[in-house]
Amino acid sequence: MMLATLIGAAAFASTLLGGLLALRLRDKLHLILGFSAGAVVGVAFFDLLPEAIAAGGRARGPATVVAWSAVGFLAYLVLDRVQMFHRESAPRGRFAAVVLCIHSLLDGIAIGVGFQSSRQIGLIVTIAVLTHDFSDGINTMNVVLRDGAKRRDALRWLLADAIAPLAGVGLTALVPMPGGEFATALALFGGFFLYIGASDLIPESYHAHPKFLTTAMTLAGAAVLYGAIQLIGPVSP
């Protein structure tokens, strides 16, 4: 568990660095939004959903996992529409940031569960988490800044997202998560991420900005995530 905690600290640093980079390059936010859109969709298609299918095993077949992903997508759509009716009291950017923070919490849980299975599996899961935690930091800053938040508020959300993996590692020491429930959680967040990328980040990145560059950045974001995940192979605990 000590090693898992140290790795959770590395995930904290990776998330923080990604968010600070997004803040520094705020004047080119449309390009970062384009990259983030591809990264978010890439995480869903290339990481979360394959992990969910593998983690489900016989308890959750592929069709059930995909169905839970659809539930996540549609649930986020409904909640997003509710946010639009109450925009002043609960901005969409903050709601998306909450989802990203919970996803980072799940990252930490994945690390802890992996190490509960074996040291080798734990390390493989860790590589997967670290490869996209940097993007998580960028994504968290982007969804908050896009909604007009102040720098101080954006940094608070970034700190919360960075702390979340450490909290997830700690939770696994107290509450073990069976494979079936873990698969369902991954599938739900896969649906959430597909909605955030396709319905929020992509349209926002294209708004009043050069289409070629933003499209290239979106494809680059997806390609980077795909390449990293292919290099490390399957990562389900």
Best mean pLDDT range from 37-46, 92-101, 114-123, 200-209: 37-46
Q: Do 100 and 132 form a contact (C-beta atoms < 8 A)?
A: no
pLDDT digits (tens, 9 = 90+) for 88-147: 454 566 777 787 788 778 777 777 766 765 666 566 566 666 656 776 787 777 777 766
pLDDT at residue number 235: 47
Q: Do 37 and 221 form a contact (C-beta atoms < 8 A)?
A: yes
Name 114's Cβ contacts closer than 8 Å, sequence gap at least 6. Answer: 121, 122, 123, 124, 125, 126, 237
Centre a 10 Å sphere on the Cβ of residue 28 and count the other Cβ atoms it contains: 14
pLDDT at residue number 236: 46
Place of tokens 């396709």: 198
Centre a 10 Å sphere on the Cβ of residue 61 and count the other Cβ atoms it contains: 13
Tally of residues, the chain: 237
Cβ-in-10-Å burial (0-12, 13-18, 19+) of 219 comes to middle
Chain centroid offset of residue 222 CA: 13
pLDDT score of 58 more than 70: no
pLDDT at residue number 149: 67
